[in-house]
Amino acid sequence: MGVDHLRRTALAVEPAALAQRAELAVRRARRLGEPVLLGATVRLAGDVDPSAVAFASRAPGEDWFCFEQPDRDGAALAALGCVTRLRASGGGRFARLAAAWRALTAGAVADPPDGPPGAGLVAVGGFAFAPDGGRAPHWAGFAAGDLVVPEVSLARRGDDVRLTVAALAAPDDVPEELAARLQARAAGLRRAPLPLLDPAPVGRFRVDSVAPPEHYEEAVARAVERIRAGALEKIVLAREVTVQAPAPHDAAAVFGVLRAGFDSCYVFCAGRGDAAFVAASPELLIRRDGLRAQTVALAGSTRRSADPAVDDHLGEQLLRSEKDREEQAIVARRIARALRPHAVWVAAPDEPALIKVANIQHLATPIRAQLTQPLGAVELAGLLHPTPAVGGEPHAAAAPLIPALEGLDRGWYAGAVGWTDANDDGEFCVALRCALLRGAEARLYAGVGVVRDSDPAAELAETEIKLGALLPVLAG
């Protein structure tokens, strides 16, 4: 019943109307002498699970993307396939991709964005932490700046679910055939629940730190020396851990566990070929809705406890910690400073609040801004990335030190992952509490902010807490 129901709903755009829209797109392509983006959007039943549809319907080797924040009224965006790919690297990659997306949508033949955020034409994907990051072999397919315009996307907020199918109309296309391709793509979608993670897998798991823990403590100690010498205020240093499983990791099952266990986080899965980058990130980089922008300064953390009294005590200790408050204030100041030249006003509370997720709690300051000009979501992401929560302060001093001390290619870890629509609205989170899955190997990443009073052993222990979000899921 589920498969048939989705097919019937997906075909709600009348073939004649779709053919008429395809005719318009082909005529425009012929006039311009170049392909034109074509999209059609319909409403689906309110019980459709966008991510489950994407996982159930994807073909081998096909790009896919799921991005949710479950406790925000079921906010979800899922996408399949690739109409076209926008890629850039080096300095200015955010601005170049924003311009390429704007040029692509300027002449598009499509319904205007309507319904839940992410409905209509979208570009989905992410950016590596470093301008030229993601060059290590295991990051193959995840370019430094990589946005995909999907063939199919499903957006949900509450019980409002929309399906969009898209294609490029070329000057030599036959409109009826183009419309038929869109119909066929929609009709091929399937409904099935996300698979369950095997609770008792057969075989052994092997967990290794890519570099010895002592190397990480030494890196922290060297960073503290630089900070005390006045070279910089803060630097974030990360660790990489690998998990070798007895069988290939199931990205859909991992995503399902994260979605159920971290409903206040940004739970995402970006798939490229045989690899998937999954995360349950607590940190919003930017959300843009017209001239309104929102972000969160997140830094400083401690563990959770099953005992409510102990958990509250840990939170109070974090709120009173001078080291953690200093780390958090550095992030909040930098974000506000970056937004002010582009805003009528920037507002933030004077005191940070506690954000609690399944295994960790953080200091957080929500920041809102009213923009003076319509900077798009991708441009705003580039304006803020990397915040001192994942980079350092000042950034110019921290940037060359990070790879030198870490000795790893972060790839998309600590980068920006999300989406933007035809209005340049959108949402990007910081890729934290994440893992890169490729076959039976998983690579997990966790970092901490190092400041003047950081203790190397304590910072190593904090990375273990952060790794605890995914390690139990991936290591059996």
376-377-378-382 Cα dihedral, nearest 10 degrees: 100
- CB atoms near residue 282 (< 10 Å): 25
* CA gap 22, 104 in Å, rounded: 16
> Could you confirm whether 234 is annotated as catalytic?
yes
Sign of CA dihedral 54, 55, 59, 65: positive
Tokens (6 digits) for 19: 């053919």
Two structure tokens written together for 147: 């946005």
- Single out the catalytic residue among 23, 151, 234, 427: 234
Helix-helix angle 377-384:322-339, to 10 degrees: 130
Q: Identify the active-site residue in 283, 393, 427, 441.
A: 283
Would residue 356 show up in a list of annotated catalytic residues for this protein? no
The token pair at 223 is: 């960073």
Token reading at 20:
């008429």
C-alpha separations of 257 from 196, 251, 267, 429 in Å: 8, 10, 10, 19
Q: List the catalytic residues.
A: 234, 283
